[in-house]
Amino acid sequence: MNQAPALPSREERLLLLEKVGKSLIAMPYKSWNFGDSTGFEGILETGRLLKDSTYFAFASGWVRGWASRPEPLKPLDCTAPGVAMVEIAHESKDQVIIESLNRLATYLMSRPKNRGIYETWDTFCLIPPYGGEKLPENEAHWLAKPPGGTCIDCLHFDPPFFTALGKATGNTELIDTGVEQAHAYIDALQKENGIFDHFFMNGITGTWAPGWGRGQGWALLGMMDVLKNISLDHPGRKKIESAGAKLIYSMIELQREDGRWWCVVDSERSGEEGSTAGFMATGFARAIKLGIVDESIVKPAMVKALSGVIADTNSDGELQNVTAAVFASTRKSHYEFTPRGFSVPWGQGPVALAICETDVLL
């Protein structure tokens, strides 16, 4: 395996960030869907680091448009870029957005729970396995008539949104709800080795799809966001700190010499996945700033991950080797054969966040 490429200069990183930022503004967003969270957070962070108000104007205009008529709310609104929306409302002092975010939070907390987690799907997003592996009879039955369920992606949605909105509005109930939800995701999906499985299905024992790389990114950033928005003495803090550090150290053990990870982190045959290194560089940097990890161990891995994701980004600012939306499957081969080569918010957003979040540490 090749060594990690040399890290470009700060000037070069900022030039690349400008290209990535422009690509994020050009994305065909819909309100709302998976990936929008990292997309809009990447837009805001890009504008802040480049000192370019265009990015905040784009994001705030989009969110203000949503806030003007956010109802009827629907299940996929759990994917709204809540942390970015709260930031926009706070900076613009826009009460219309705050009121709409409060309605969104009320709606999201009205959903039924399973394993302590607000339900994402009442019919889970199972699809036939990429690669064509034949399903065992029981798994074929689940595919034909999926139960409800929840996936690790959503640790980046509900818990950070509830805690950010609670902090911004002084609503301690929202903060506590976000912490409880983070705990429930950890209890349901984190394995003993620190790595998260992708999903569980309601009424079916166990969890599924171990080691999906981008899923580790959703989990890590979600936990770091919750920690950022709760007090140092919150009684639920230590569990999240421990889970986040455990994931980070496990991911460092699985990191390739070139700074990247396989699409399924323990499966070389799963091939490349460009976004995981961006997620990890961002999460590692946030963990260092929060003081929950040993900087002497984590910072070198952060630099390698940043070098890797930048090396995977072409001269037009497009991250390469990003896999499609995986949906979900009970077969590991599904994640090993996911098609790649997409320019999407869950690829471009993590590149922008990685460059921005690491900037003060380099």
Domain containing residue 244: CATH number: 1.50.10.10
Q: What is the mean pLDDT of residues 7-22?
A: 98
Residue at 343 is within a domain = yes
Residue at 129 is within a domain = yes
Residue at 86 is within a domain = yes
Residue at 5 is within a domain = no
Check pLDDT > 90 for residue 3.
no
Q: What angle do CA 60, 61, 62 make, to 5 degrees?
A: 90
Q: Yes or no: say if 220 and 261 are a contact pair by the CB < 8 Å rule.
A: no
Q: Yes or no: say if 121 and 149 are a contact pair by the CB < 8 Å rule.
A: yes
Percent of the chain surpassing pLDDT 70 = 100
Check pLDDT > 80 for residue 70.
no
Split into its structural domains, the chain has a count of 1
Residue at 3 is within a domain = no
For the CA atoms of 59, 91, 176, 124, what is the dihedral angle to 10 degrees? 0
What is the pLDDT at residue 2?
78
Q: Yes or no: say if 327 and 125 are a contact pair by the CB < 8 Å rule.
A: yes
Check pLDDT > 80 for residue 110.
yes
How confident is the model over 302-340, as pLDDT tens digits?
Answer: 999 999 999 999 999 999 999 999 999 999 999 999 999
Check pLDDT > 90 for residue 125.
yes
- The continuous run of DSSP H or E covering 103 comes out as helix 95-108
Q: What is the mean pLDDT of residues 251-273?
A: 96
DSSP helix/strand/coil, 144? helix
How confident is the model over 133-146, as pLDDT tens digits?
Answer: 999 999 999 999 99
Q: What is the mean pLDDT of residues 52-72?
A: 93
Residue at 2 is within a domain = no
Confidence of residue 1 (pLDDT cuts 50, 70, 90): low
Q: What is the mean pLDDT of residues 33-54?
A: 97
Residue type, 151: C
Residue span of the structural domain in which 307 resides: 10-361
Q: Yes or no: say if 362 and 11 are a contact pair by the CB < 8 Å rule.
A: no
Supply the pTM of this predicted model: 0.97
How confident is the model over 150-172, as pLDDT tens digits?
Answer: 999 999 999 999 999 999 999 99
Residue at 28 is within a domain = yes
Residue at 4 is within a domain = no
